[in-house]
Amino acid sequence: MGKRLSGTEIARYHRDGFLFPIDAFTPREARKFRDRLEAFERQDGRQFGKGHNFKPHLLFPWVDALVRHPALLDPVEDIIGPDIRLFHFTIWPKSPGDPAYVSWHQDATYFGLDPAVHITAWLALTEVPVESGAVEVVPGSHRRGQLHHGQFADDSNLLSRGQTVTADFARDGTLFITLKPGQMSLHHTHLIHRSGPNLSNDRRIGFGISYIPASATCRASVRQSAMLVRGIDRSGHFDDEPRPQADFGAAEQAAHAAAVARFRAQNAEEVRRYEAAQ
């Protein structure tokens, strides 16, 4: 029995590689998060998209508070332990009729983390029915470990490098992770998953928050930064990321740019290493 999850739920996560639905916030709270996000989009004059949607916890105090909330961290702690860093964070918006999709992939492919125990908390700010482009998973696929991926250029693919699993895997037993506003799912870094375009009449907005144990390492030659959100870091493998004090302030934008540059350098290095090994 964990802080939030039952022993049965923890066992199911390890068996299947994912767990849902987990009630994190009320629909009213989720609506407030959505309103704040969309208010910034109106102010900024553009919607969140590739690049601009990375690591928003460094830009907005309200996002920083959200990623530290016990409603998210208690279930994560039940899986990976009490000392937790936030390694990466991506906002996944899909507008109605938008052809944007995410190809079949594993999160671990270009992260370069050891051990591969990174967990993604996917928080829904909107209704996520199947037709909105809900995440589709292959239960138990995380147990196969890291599989081969190719890169396929497609402007509609939300993955920055179009990484797609090229190894054979069974698609007949897939399952859709449908969520209500304020609910979240957890999934393992090796779980094979995808999501289709949004065919509903509302936006599909989700926060993909990547948590790791503070003891994890990253093999990149460029030292990475990650935010300590719970517990103690006894290992010192990452530089700390500063907590934002103002929405989209100058200092916040500078810290965000530096952290994203490090992440992109690590990602590019991991791609070169991955390709050289093939």
pLDDT score of 52: 65
Q: Please, are residues 103 and 251 in contact by the beta-carbon 8 Å criterion?
A: no
pLDDT score of 271: 81
pLDDT score of 140: 98
- Ordered by where they begin, the domains of the chain are 7-277 (2.60.120.620)
Across 28-60, b (16+ Cβ under 10 Å) vs e yields: ebbeebbebbbebeeeeeebbeeeebbbbbbbb
Q: Please, are residues 181 and 126 in contact by the beta-carbon 8 Å criterion?
A: yes
Could you state, in chain order, the average pLDDT of each consecutive group of 10 residues for the chain (278 residues)?
94 98 98 96 82 86 98 98 97 92 95 93 98 98 95 90 93 96 98 97 97 96 96 97 96 95 90 76
Structure tokens at 237: 């493998």
> What are φ and ψ of residue 177, in 5° steps?
-95, 95
pLDDT score of 278: 66
pLDDT score of 46: 85
pLDDT score of 162: 87
